[in-house]
Structure 1
């Protein structure tokens, strides 16, 4: 639909309902290949595979997690297909026309932080290739700039600039990049896996890694307990679901470009449960083969490529890891803040400028590299508030509004979604209480049991969404006709 009476403080062409809907199932499938096939995604998938303790356990735990992800993404995706609006605009229906800036900017801040972190990860893959040359290795070890190796800084700037080129023509360029990068990464992953399996003399689902070595190597995955036990499998499934917490919120940024629910469902089916299980399986088999070949637990793919004797294979691996990480950066950490910052000041900030702001924040953070220190804990605490936000938006859309949104009113200052001076107080209260239990108490106090943090996002969804539902029933707003 076209909006004819929008307020300029709430509207620009990028925030308007999508008019051109040419994202087919293949493009939606590649949203997920781009989001998952990163260096951190590989590490997490390989770790969780090993922590399942066996192939059957892997199918149960990772399969259950992947199906939950599929279900939740469809819930938010259907809202995008029906309304055609991006995440911050959809949030106006539950948080109010001005209150929507709260969930939008929370998502934007987290995305900007991880934009820098993923750019640094991609550039490190390039550095790992270059320092195979003795002269560049010496340069890397002796020359420094703003707290980093000069070589690392140069590679970071190059990768940072390349990402800006991807979004020069908006979401259409993003779609074209995904459609190329997703299959390319899959091909390179299979080449890596097959090569290592052949070198290892065959593939195996059983890793044979001593438990103490395994637990040390996978400690950052956040799964406690003995691998293969019931509670370990529960934690594996929960960790896998929580990994996608950010994209549950803003998946409608992509789904709004699909023509219908059937197309979205097909793309999500292949991109989520099917792709997630196969990706995890390949990552696990590759890690087991690498252990059999090198006698080490190499959960990071650049660690494996560093052991290649062939320059060509090392180059192929470095480029693959870089492209994979650029893919997740564009999908998870560029598109969302581009819309989110634009939503705050639509008169002055469009999609492209919003993306530039996110990239600039990442660049300014680079000298401090907060992703290498305790600041990541702080950002994760903020990110955990995405649980209550997700719960509130879904409850409002499906249970309060019954799937009916007055799209035109999302762009009106005195319309149906003004609430109290543009803010829905019920949503703010639900967010605060939900965030208390999803992030603040488990991360900054010892009042809750240790296992609580593993399921913090789930508690945030249930508590935030539940309180919002009760509040809207007890204190409903009288909305203008």
Structure 2
């Protein structure tokens, strides 16, 4: 499906005249090490992610089990109901702003995240941010698949209690029933992936209303169960400076949770027709959706606390207590559907593009996705999930790197280049190419990333810095962006851009 190495990249829609350049950008050879049909920019007919698609995408992600567990955990910080809503509102506005900046890049250029990273890090240096994102995604793909399989086990044992007998043994750390459930969920996700991004879009669109209706119905049921007597706090509420510190810490942590998708949102936004679509779809999907999510969290947790003084860990705790088997099963099924939806969007799409980017000649989106899914099984993710050391030091440490990456990429695109990108030259290894830099690596971007990454990891993991650890993503992004702004070569950034383009002409699209 990819073009031959001898073919040249053709500009489809020039949108800006060149400022100054002595080089031609449209006749450099296409490199098979950098291009295939899945990595090529999307064409107009392939841009089907409209308002609803983006809204449904975020609905699934916002209302997933892990996010509810995080929001409920804000009670442990001493925040009350209105404080939790305010904290999540602050986080929602930050996520909305940063997500739009990333999405606009993808919409304009039409390229996925590994290719987008070539702009700032170079055609080969882009493997640094891409691989960091992929490792995190593969690990969490396995973990989320395991968590979905746990929900499936609850569902199956509710329908057939005799199956509980197969949940007592252990094979590599998982019971026989656990293996059946895990492999089943794993295969369902592979089937969805096999049909490409269009099937991902359709599944996200189907799952969004399912989970929204489920959590709304669950909240209404709990509200009437306690006759509206909601506990707005579970202990003496914080006041003063400590209260505001925890409110802003909660918002910063919410931003860090979305650090992965903020980085590679262009994988989805590249298929949106215009900026307005991203702006409106993200508005309803993020700030509005997150405020609804915050209200439901407070209602569910407050209602349960009013009943028995117990703090739930997630909505599934409430679902398990539903006396009606049919309603219990429907609730489990809804959370199963949304967990799969979240896993695909957050942890499947990214490594599929990244692995395809490693060997475009041999790996398309589907093959790369299969490999990443296989790796997610081989790491035995239930053991990772049950190891606090791995979660805190390995995955959290890698997560701290996402802020510095985002800072470099955004500053390079918006402040240094002013949004001017020569898309065709993202796919050439010619030394005359705009993004060849030094043997394919922009050493200035790496130099800005490394110190910021070290600082972010120290802030995130060293106990002494615990008071500021929630802000490690922001600190990392700000430091990396500022350093890069100081050392970036602005003259080269403009001299090497000989016009812009929306997409690469590709007969296979």
- Could you say whether these structures have the same fold, taking a TM-score greater than 0.5 normalized by the shorter chain as the test? yes
2:205 to 153, 169, 179: 179
Deviation at 1:201, TM superposition (A): 1.4
Deviation at 1:195, TM superposition (A): 1.3
Deviation at 1:6, TM superposition (A): 2.0
Deviation at 1:58, TM superposition (A): 3.5
Gaps of 5+ in 1: 215-223
2:440 to 394, 411, 422: 422
Q: How does 1:86-235 map to 2 (within 5 A)?
A: 86-132=112-158, 133-141=160-168, 143-202=169-228, 204=230, 206-210=231-235, 229-235=243-249
**RMSD, matched Cα:** 2.3
- Give the direction of change, closer, same or farther, for the CA distance of 1:60–1:228 in structure 2 (3 Å limit): farther
Deviations 1:134-188 (A, max 9, x none): 42223312x2212222111211111111111111221100000011000111011
Give TM-score, length-normalised by structure 1. Answer: 0.91
Deviation at 1:80, TM superposition (A): 0.8
Gaps of 5+ in 2: 1-10, 13-25, 499-509
Q: Is the 8 A contact 2:145 2:186 kept in 1?
A: yes
Deviation at 1:416, TM superposition (A): 0.7
Deviation at 1:209, TM superposition (A): 2.1
Deviations 1:88-146 (A, max 9, x none): 101101000001011001100000000011111111111123334542223312x2212
Deviations 1:288-331 (A, max 9, x none): 12222343211312211121211111101111111111111011
- Give the direction of change, closer, same or farther, for the CA distance of 1:367–1:235 in structure 2 (3 Å limit): closer
Q: Is the 8 A contact 1:238 1:454 kept in 2?
A: yes
Q: How does 1:21-420 map to 2 (within 5 A)?
A: 21-48=47-74, 51=77, 53-132=79-158, 133-141=160-168, 143-202=169-228, 204=230, 206-210=231-235, 229-366=243-380, 369-373=383-387, 374-377=389-392, 378-414=394-430, 415-420=433-438
SS in structure 2 at match of 1:413: coil
**Farther-moved stretch of structure 1 (52-61 vs 20-29):** 52-61
Q: Is the 8 A contact 1:52 1:227 kept in 2?
A: no
Give TM-score, length-normalised by structure 2. Answer: 0.87
SS in structure 2 at match of 1:144: coil
Q: Is the 8 A contact 2:47 2:272 kept in 1?
A: yes
**Farther-moved stretch of structure 1 (402-411 vs 294-303):** 294-303
> How many residues are paired up?
466
Deviation at 1:230, TM superposition (A): 1.3
- Give the direction of change, closer, same or farther, for the CA distance of 1:455–1:475 in structure 2 (3 Å limit): farther
SS in structure 1 at match of 2:488: helix
Quick one: distance in 2 between partners of 1:165 and 1:156? 15
1:442 corresponding residue in structure 2: 459
1:14 to 7, 29, 38: 38
- Give the direction of change, closer, same or farther, for the CA distance of 1:480–1:62 in structure 2 (3 Å limit): closer
